[in-house]
């Protein structure tokens, strides 16, 4: 939706304070009240969609500075977009998901680890990593992002590229969840907005027991299923459902304004007015002067001094840059972004630079977002595991699987490696605990699996070599016994 839309034009930076969570007072959604609940929910959703469109435009570079109006010399009206919003979202996405979100076994049992490993293989076949990226991207843009999981009706056990569960990263402008307004705020329904072949709006309302198809405020179809929960789940960036750059929209607009006015000032300075005092010059002479930079001869009249001057004023660039630097520093602090202070040589090393340059803040913000992500991911995982139990031999429950973020944090890697070695050498610590606690490896499950396979191979190889060595020594001993000369009989009489 472009910014020229009347609804979006009313939105400004000071009016955006997170997306509204949609509630209903109905304890159950039935065929009799689904149209009523949907109609009430759409009023709040329309407001959310308008705000999401505005934020998405800001992310794409369609920002408020493009509506800048200049009263003096309006023909010089530069509109510079410094798209820091895009940078903020891109950094947040890349840092949070620097490595894929993995499922790991909650216990050290081999059969559980094997089942979780197979689950991850199916998720790879479903391309979950790229769908996580799209989901997190929307989450950082507008504060909320819905995901849907459904059984795959075309699943084939003999097809290695097929997955029993289908994952969808939905557009938050086309899907939302309705929650119960009472204690627990449990999800009541997930709504997916689509269009039929004639361009008519259709709403698919997913409850825990079935899906209602609503068209023109009438229920036209109902499909029963036994998911046991709503198959659409919302992932939120924070409790207020605020996007990553939404809290700094005002400083972002100020940076655009300062940069645009700075360019205007440069153009004004270059195209400054010439003032001819107590003298006249014809148009042709002035045109020749401006075109070729020729000298000009002036003559005073009536005893008055004649002069030619230029009206120009230039901004204090140092002061403007100081204002911009202050705004950028505020943006970094508020959004938890690393700064560029480490460009010069200092005596700080290791952990000191991490804290000084803001990387510790970036990590803490990612950890904060991770907790809310895992909360929603568990709801999706419950649906995935239910589908897998019905369609495959993977029999897992939520208590046996954990959601693990595997960000590539290479800080203090030597210390982490030492912790890993110390724990692996402790017979009272399970090897998987050592991999988890150390934080030295991004993919814990894969590293543990490969490590145990390698260990077993080395044990078998060592045992085989030992057996060969024993067999060789036994053979040498036997050869010596066979080649030993016969001893003479002892005829000495006692």
pLDDT at 218: 93
φ/ψ of 124, rounded to 5, equals -65, -40
Question: Band of the pLDDT at 321, cuts 50, 70, 90?
Answer: confident
Least confident range of 4-13, 22-31, 348-357:
4-13
Q: What is the mean pLDDT of residues 111-133?
A: 90
Residues 6 or more apart in contact with residue 286 via CB below 8 angstroms: 274
Region label for 437, one of left (φ > 0), alpha (ψ between -120 and 50) or beta (otherwise) = alpha
In whole angstroms, give the CA distance from residue 439 to residue 13.
40
pLDDT at 6: 44
Question: Could you report the per-residue pLDDT of 144-175, keeping only the tens digit for each?
Answer: 999 999 999 888 888 878 889 999 999 999 99
Q: Are strands 102-105 and 401-404 parallel, antiparallel or unpaired?
A: antiparallel
Q: Residue 177: beta bridge partners?
A: 190
pLDDT at 257 over 70: yes
Region label for 358, one of left (φ > 0), alpha (ψ between -120 and 50) or beta (otherwise) = left
Q: Residue 222: beta bridge partners?
A: 212
In whole angstroms, give the CA distance from residue 36 to residue 325.
52
Nearest Cα neighbor of 416 from 461, 482, 350 is: 350
pLDDT at 282 over 80: no
Helix residue ranges, H only, 425-443: 431-438
- Is the CB of residue 55 less than 8 Å from the CB of residue 142? yes
φ/ψ of 390, rounded to 5, equals -85, -30
- Is the CB of residue 162 less than 8 Å from the CB of residue 125? yes
Question: Band of the pLDDT at 1, cuts 50, 70, 90?
Answer: very low
Least confident range of 189-198, 248-257, 318-327, 434-443:
434-443
pLDDT at 342: 55
pLDDT at 494: 45
> What is the DSSP annotation of 39-65?
HHHHHHHHHHHHHHHHHHHHHHT--GG
In whole angstroms, give the CA distance from residue 165 to residue 394.
13
How distant, in Å, are the alpha carbons of 23, 56, 114, 403, 404 from that of 375? 19, 25, 24, 9, 12
φ/ψ of 191, rounded to 5, equals -115, 130
Residues 6 or more apart in contact with residue 142 via CB below 8 angstroms: 19, 51, 52, 55, 56, 172, 243, 246
Least confident range of 157-166, 228-237, 439-448:
439-448
Dihedral angle, C-alpha 408, 409, 412, 415, nearest 10 °: -60
Under DSSP, the state recorded for 183 is T
Question: Could you report the per-residue pLDDT of 66-97, keeping only the tens digit for each?
Answer: 888 888 777 778 899 999 999 999 999 999 98
pLDDT at 412: 67
Mean pLDDT in the chain?
A: 83
> Which uninterrupted H or E stretch holds 22?
strand 22-24
More confident residue, 451 or 33: 33
Q: Are strands 22-24 and 175-180 parallel, antiparallel or unpaired?
A: parallel
pLDDT at 300 over 70: no
Q: How many C-beta neighbours within 10 Å does residue 112 have?
A: 17
Task: Output the six-digit token pair for 246.
Answer: 């939404």
Least confident range of 28-42, 103-117, 284-298, 378-392:
284-298
Dihedral angle, C-alpha 46, 50, 56, 61, nearest 10 °: 170
Nearest Cα neighbor of 93 from 339, 365, 351, 353 is: 365
> How many alpha carbons fall within 13 Å on the CB side of residue 282?
2
Under DSSP, the state recorded for 181 is S
Question: Band of the pLDDT at 393, cuts 50, 70, 90?
Answer: confident
Q: How many C-beta neighbours within 10 Å does residue 105 have?
A: 24
- Is the CB of residue 143 less than 8 Å from the CB of residue 241? yes
In whole angstroms, give the CA distance from residue 476 to residue 394.
53
Question: Band of the pLDDT at 404, cuts 50, 70, 90?
Answer: confident
Nearest Cα neighbor of 68 from 319, 254, 227, 304 is: 254
Dihedral angle, C-alpha 379, 380, 386, 391, nearest 10 °: 180
The b-or-e profile of 228-244 (16+ CB within 10 A means b, else e) is ebbbbbbbbbbeebbbb
In whole angstroms, give the CA distance from residue 237 to residue 94.
15
Q: How many C-beta neighbours within 10 Å does residue 198 have?
A: 5
pLDDT at 210: 94
Q: What is the mean pLDDT of residues 458-484?
A: 76
pLDDT at 345 over 60: no
Look at the block and give the residue holding tokens 């490696």.
Answer: 417
Range with the largest mean pLDDT of 27-31, 273-277, 406-410, 438-442: 27-31
More confident residue, 322 or 235: 235
SS3 109: coil
């Amino acid at each position: 939706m472009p910014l020229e839309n009347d609804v979006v034009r009313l939105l400004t930076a000071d009016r955006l304070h997170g997306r509204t969570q949609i509630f209903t007072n109905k304890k159950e959604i039935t065929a009799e009240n689904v149209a009523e609940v949907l109609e009430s929910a759409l009023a709040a959703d329309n407001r959310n969609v308008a705000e999401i469109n505005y934020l998405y435009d800001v992310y794409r570079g369609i920002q408020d500075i493009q509506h800048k109006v200049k009263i003096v010399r309006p023909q010089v009206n530069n509109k510079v977009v410094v798209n820091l919003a895009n940078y903020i979202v891109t950094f947040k996405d890349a840092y949070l998901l620097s490595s894929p979100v993995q499922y790991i076994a909650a216990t050290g049992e081999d059969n559980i680890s094997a089942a979780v490993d197979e689950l991850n293989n199916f998720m790879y076949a479903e391309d979950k990593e790229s769908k996580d990226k799209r989901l997190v991207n929307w989450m950082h843009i507008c504060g909320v992002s819905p995901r849907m999981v459904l059984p795959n009706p075309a699943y084939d056990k003999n097809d290695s590229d097929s997955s029993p569960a289908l994952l969808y990263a939905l557009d938050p402008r086309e899907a939302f969840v309705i929650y119960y307004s009472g204690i627990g705020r449990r999800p009541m329904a997930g709504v997916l907005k689509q269009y039929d072949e004639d361009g008519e709006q259709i709403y698919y309302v997913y409850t825990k027991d079935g899906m209602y198809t609503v068209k023109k405020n009438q229920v036209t179809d109902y499909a029963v299923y036994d998911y046991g929960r709503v198959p659409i789940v919302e992932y939120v960036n924070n409790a207020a459902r605020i996007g990553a750059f939404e809290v700094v929209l005002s400083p972002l607009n100020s940076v655009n304004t300062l940069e645009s006015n700075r360019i205007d000032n440069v153009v004004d300075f270059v195209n400054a007015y010439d003032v001819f005092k107590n003298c006249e010059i014809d148009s042709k002479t002035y045109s020749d002067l401006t075109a070729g930079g020729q000298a000009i001869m002036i003559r005073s009249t009536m005893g008055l001094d004649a002069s030619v001057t230029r009206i120009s004023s230039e901004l204090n660039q140092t002061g403007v840059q100081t204002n911009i630097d202050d705004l950028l520093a505020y943006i970094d602090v508020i959004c938890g972004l690393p700064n560029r202070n480490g460009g010069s040589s200092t005596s700080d090393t290791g952990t000191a630079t991490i804290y000084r340059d803001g990387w510790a803040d970036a990590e803490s913000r990612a950890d904060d977002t991770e907790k809310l992500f895992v909360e929603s991911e568990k709801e999706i995982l419950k649906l995935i595991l239910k589908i897998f139990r019905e369609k495959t031999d993977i029999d897992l429950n939520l208590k046996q699987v954990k959601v693990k973020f595997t960000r590539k944090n290479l800080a203090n890697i030597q210390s982490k490696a030492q912790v890993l070695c110390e724990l692996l050498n402790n017979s009272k610590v399970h090897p998987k605990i050592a991999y988890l606690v150390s934080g030295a490896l991004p993919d814990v499950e894969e590293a543990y699996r490969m490590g145990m396979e390698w260990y077993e191979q080395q044990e078998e190889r060592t045992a085989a070599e030992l057996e060969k060595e024993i067999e060789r020594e036994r053979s040498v001993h036997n050869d010596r016994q066979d080649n030993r000369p016969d001893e003479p009989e002892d005829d000495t009489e006692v």
